[in-house]
Amino acid sequence: MSRLFGRMVVAMMPIMPRFVVRWISRRYVAGVDMESALRVMRKLESQNACFTIDVLGEEITSIEEADYFIEEYERLLKMIVKEKLDANISIKPTAFGLLIDRDKGLANIEKLLREAAKHEIFVRLDMEDHRVTDDTIEVCLAMHEKGLENIGVVLQARLFRTNADIENICSILGPGADFRICKGIYLEPSEIAHTQYKEIVDASNEAIDKMLDGSSYVAIASHDLPVIDHALAALEERKMGPGVDDPRPAAPPPRKGKGEGYEFQMLLGVRGDVRRRLASQGHRTRVYIPYGEQWYEYSMRRLRENPTVAWHVTKAMLMPWTNKR
């Protein structure tokens, strides 16, 4: 039902007026500026949520465009410190020029990472489409080689290669490996990725197990109940959970703003009821807070590539009592 409704919404997107897309997107985009994001986070703090903040925008066409993202993220770091937010940041490597000038892109990311490290703020490298999977992983490993360990990568469960990537990163970084595992927002070719719902769920569950058994930090980013239920069972099997020291051999070192080896993550405005239930049980829960002028492009891609989001958002708009933000 939900996926069918979502596909109906997506089918109408090409003829949707911009204001309609804005109405839908306001559920899961904090706004166009940093102040909007701060207001949203202040409202959610009472729900025992922490945050990862993303400045919307990705692949740029000139290296000069990266200056905007560097400056905005530097402002964001200052705001996190000033407001004493329980928050880290998510960045897209292509927004920093990685595909235009690799050396300059790496230097831009390193500059931001060093500034974040001064305040013990973690930086998550968002994963974009398969063209930059290797590059994104290499950025993470390169920063660790420089002694900058406040960085981790996102892996997409739908890709066939993900299990091999987990093994490789864990073998190099050991307990320093820090993952966010998600199904993947980018629709990839069937030659390199799972395309059916059950296949993606199974792949997500397998990746979670492999990450946990690799003694890495695992951010479980899913709104799918079968994945969340599997993750809870996997944690219980390994005697991990709220208020329990991570019992795994070579567990990740304690880090400011992190849980005991794992956390759950949700998009802003999606599955708020599930997130609050997990938080009430003592699990660390993090909300993904996107903001920026490119809300329209982000919204169109988010709806097109994950139609169930359209169902969650529209249901919450029409029946707000069923799923508070």
How far is CA 124 from each of CA 139, 145, 147, 209, 276, rounded to the nearest angstrom? 11, 16, 16, 21, 23
42 catalytic per annotation: no
Catalytic residue from among 124, 158, 180, 302:
180
How far is CA 186 from each of CA 80, 88, 269, rounded to the nearest angstrom? 29, 23, 20
Please tell me the distance from the alpha carbon of residue 150 to that of residue 148, in angstroms, as a whole number: 6
H or E element in which residue 52 lies: strand 49-55
In the numeric block, which tokens belong to residue 302?
A: 């988010």
126 catalytic per annotation: yes
Whether the CB-CB separation of 46 and 272 falls below 8 Å is answered with no
Please tell me the distance from the alpha carbon of residue 217 to that of residue 179, in angstroms, as a whole number: 6
Place of tokens 């060093």: 114
Catalytic residue from among 27, 124, 126, 178:
126
How far is CA 59 from each of CA 97, 146, 188, 227, 294, rounded to the nearest angstrom? 7, 25, 17, 30, 12
Active site residues: 126, 180
